[in-house]
Chains A and B, each alone.
Chain A
Amino acid sequence: MVRRHFIRRIAIALASITGGAVAAGYLRQYFPRIAGEKRRISLGDPNFYPVDTYTFLEDHNLFVYRDHEGFRAVSAVCTHLGCILEKSSDGFECPCHGSCYNPSGEVTSGPAPRDLSWFRVGRAPDGGLFVDPGQTTQPGEKFLTS
C-alpha cells in the first residue's frame, strides 16, 4: 500500500469515529433525564368513593373501583394509541378507534394490542388510600377495606 493511501485511510477512519461520536453525543441531547412519573397517587379518604362504582380520576387517568369488599384501580389509557377510555355498560370503550375491554380490562374487540393494567392499591400511614402505578396486580386483586 502506498503511504499516501494508508494515511488517507487512517484519516477517514479517524474522521468517521469523531463524527460518529459527535453525532451520538448530539442526539443524546434530545433525551433528557426524566424521573419516572410513577409516583404514588393519593386517593384520600376511602369513604369519599361510592360503592359499586367506577370513579374516574381526571388528573391521573385511572378508574378506581370500589365494591363492598375493597378497592381496585385500573388504567384508563387505551393500550392502542393512548386515548382515554369511557366506562360503558359492559366494560370500557375507547372513543378514538373503538377498542372494547371487558370489566376485567381484557380486550374484547378492536385494535388494542394489550389488556389494561391494574395497579396496586394500599393504605398510607395517614389512613388515606393510594394507588401505585409502578406496581401492577392481577385484575381480581383488591385492597380489602372491610
Chain B
Amino acid sequence: MDENQSPEVIAEHPEEFDPRKRVGRITRNFFLHIHAPRVHPHSLRPDYTFGLGVMLGFLFLVMLFTGIVLMIYYTPSVEMAYQSVKDIIYMVPGGRIIRNMHRWASQGMVIVVFLHMIRVFYTGSYLGSRSLNWVIGVVMLMVTLMSNFSGYLLPWDQLAYWAVTIGSNIAASSRELTDLLGITSLFDPGGFLKTLLIGGETVGQPALSRFFALHVIFLPVTMLVLMGVHFWRIRKDGGLSRPLQTVQGKGNTSKWYAWPVLMWTELALLIGVVLVILLIAMVADAPLLERANPAYPENPAKAPWYFLGIQELVSYSAFTGGMVVPVLYLIFLFSIPYQDHEEQYVGQWFSGAKGRRVVFISAAVALVVVVLQLVVEVTIGGLRDWIPGVSQWFVMLLNPAMVTSAIFILGSLWVKRRTRSTRISAMVLFTASLVALIVFTMVGIFFRGPNWEFYWSASQWPVI
C-alpha cells in the first residue's frame, strides 16, 4: 500500500509520510489509541476478520444514539408504555425510523455477534494468551442477548408480555427439579432468580421498572466496560490473531501505520453499517402488536426469532431445555480455551485441511442426529404420548434437548480419545452445537404453529 510509495511522492509531501507524525495521530488521541500505531497487514485482510468485531462496535454506537432518543420519549409505566411507543412512531419526527433502526441494529448485533464468535473460534483465535479475551467475548455475547431480552418487554405489547412471562418462568424452572425432590419450600433458587428478575410472581409494573433499569443503564454500561477491556486485551495480546509464521522473525518493519490505512477502512465500515441499518429501517417496520393482555396469550406465542431455538427446547422440558442445556452450552463456550492449548493452530481457518473435513463431517452427523429426533418428536410425539402418565423425571431427561447434548458431548470425547487433539474435539462439539442451534431455531421460526404444533407452512395454520 502507501508504505511502498515511490521516493518522488514521499519527497514531495515529506510531512504526510513522517512516521512520527503518523504514530502521533494515534497515540496522542484518547479515542484512537485503542489501536496500535502500527498493525500487521494480516489483520487488515477482509477475508480473515470480515470486520465483524469493528462492525459490532459500530452497531453498538447506533444502539446508543437511537436508544437515547427512544428513552426521552418512552415512559416506563404499565399504563403509559404502550401509548408512548405509539407516540414515538406517530408523533416524533423521524421516530418511526429511529425505533426501526434501534430494532434492526439490535437484531444485527445478535447475528454479527454469533458470526464474530464463529470466526474467532474457527481461526483458533482463543489460543494462547487470548483465552481471557475469548471469555470476555462470551460474557459480551450474554450481555447482548440480555439487552435484547430486556428491550422487548418495554413496548408492553402482547409479544413483550408473553415472551417475558415465559422467560421469567424459565428462570424459575429449577422448581421442576426441586418439586420432584420435594424441597421447593426449603430451597428455591428458581423463585429467587424469578423474583430478582421481575420483582413478583407475575409480570407487572415491578418487572417493567426492573427491565427498564437493566436495559437503559446496567447492561449498556456493563457492555461499554467490557468493550474497553476486550479492545485493550487485543493490544495486550499482540494485535489480532494471525498464523505463527507471520509472528515469528518479523519485527515492526513489515507493519502498516494504523493512520491512515486502518482509520480510513474503519470509517468506510462505519458509514456502511449506518447506511445499511438506515436503509433497512426505512423499508421495514419494527413490529408492535396489540397492547399486552394478561388473560390471552398469542397463539402461537413466539419469542423473537433468535430465541425460538430455546423455545423449541423448552417445549420438551422447561428445566432441561431452558436451563440445563443452555447452561451446558455456556460452560462449554467458557471452557474452550482452557481445554484446548494447541497453540500451533492459531490464526488458521479450521486448523488446516484435516480440520475442515472434521467440521464438515461433524456438521453432517449433527444434522442427522437432530433431524431424526425432530422427526420422531413430530410424528409420534413426546414421551408422554407414548407412555401416558410417565414420571416427570423421564420427561425431563429423555427429550431431544438432553439426548442431543449427550450424543454431542460423548461424541466429542470419543473424537478426543481417537485423534488425541483437543482442537479437533473442540471443533466437533462447537460445530455440532452450532448446527443444532440453527436447526432448532429454524424449526421454531418456520415449522411451529398454534399450540406449538408442527406445520410445514404458516398457510396451513388453522383459523382460530
Pair B385/A98 contact, Cβ less than 8 Å: no
B interface, by DSSP: helix, strand, loop or mixed? helix
B30 at interface (Cβ–Cβ under 8 A)? Answer: no
Pair B384/A95 contact, Cβ less than 8 Å: no
B298 at interface (Cβ–Cβ under 8 A)? Answer: yes
B19 at interface (Cβ–Cβ under 8 A)? Answer: no
Pair B382/A109 contact, Cβ less than 8 Å: yes
A111→B396 CA distance, assembly (Å): 8
Pair A95/B299 contact, Cβ less than 8 Å: yes
List the B side residues contacting A114 at CB < 8 Å: 179, 392
B314 at interface (Cβ–Cβ under 8 A)? Answer: yes
Closest to A58 in B: B295
Pair B297/A81 contact, Cβ less than 8 Å: no
Pair B170/A98 contact, Cβ less than 8 Å: no
Q: Which of A34, A59, A80, A93 contacts B318 (CB 8 A)?
A: A80
A interface, by DSSP: helix, strand, loop or mixed? loop
Pair A84/B297 contact, Cβ less than 8 Å: yes
Closest to B296 in A: A84
A113→B298 CA distance, assembly (Å): 22
Closest to A111 in B: B317
List the B side residues contacting A109 at CB < 8 Å: 381-382, 384-385, 388
Minimum CB–CB distance for B370 against chain A, Å? 18
Mask, A91-120, CB within 8 Å of B = 1, is: 001111110000000011111011000000
Pair B295/A110 contact, Cβ less than 8 Å: no
A61→B200 CA distance, assembly (Å): 16
A113→B388 CA distance, assembly (Å): 13
B405 at interface (Cβ–Cβ under 8 A)? Answer: no
Mask, B293-328, CB within 8 Å of A = 1, is: 011111111000000000100111111011000000
A59→B202 CA distance, assembly (Å): 13
A81→B322 CA distance, assembly (Å): 10
A108→B381 CA distance, assembly (Å): 12
Mask, B388-422, CB within 8 Å of A = 1, is: 10001001100000000000000000000000000
A82 at interface (Cβ–Cβ under 8 A)? Answer: yes
Minimum CB–CB distance for B459 against chain A, Å? 19
Pair B195/A31 contact, Cβ less than 8 Å: yes
List the A side residues contacting B315 at CB < 8 Å: 97-98, 110-111
List the B side residues contacting A95 at CB < 8 Å: 297-301, 450-452
Closest to B298 in A: A95
Pair B452/A96 contact, Cβ less than 8 Å: yes
List the A side residues contacting B388 at CB < 8 Å: 108-109
Minimum CB–CB distance for B219 against chain A, Å? 16
A126 at interface (Cβ–Cβ under 8 A)? Answer: no
Give chain A's interface residues, CB within 8 Å of chain B.
Answer: 30-32, 34, 37, 56, 58-59, 61, 80-84, 86, 93-98, 107-111, 113-114
Give chain B's interface residues, CB within 8 Å of chain A.
Answer: 162, 165-166, 168-170, 173, 176, 179-180, 195-196, 199-202, 206, 294-301, 311, 314-319, 321-322, 381-382, 384-385, 388, 392, 395-396, 450-453
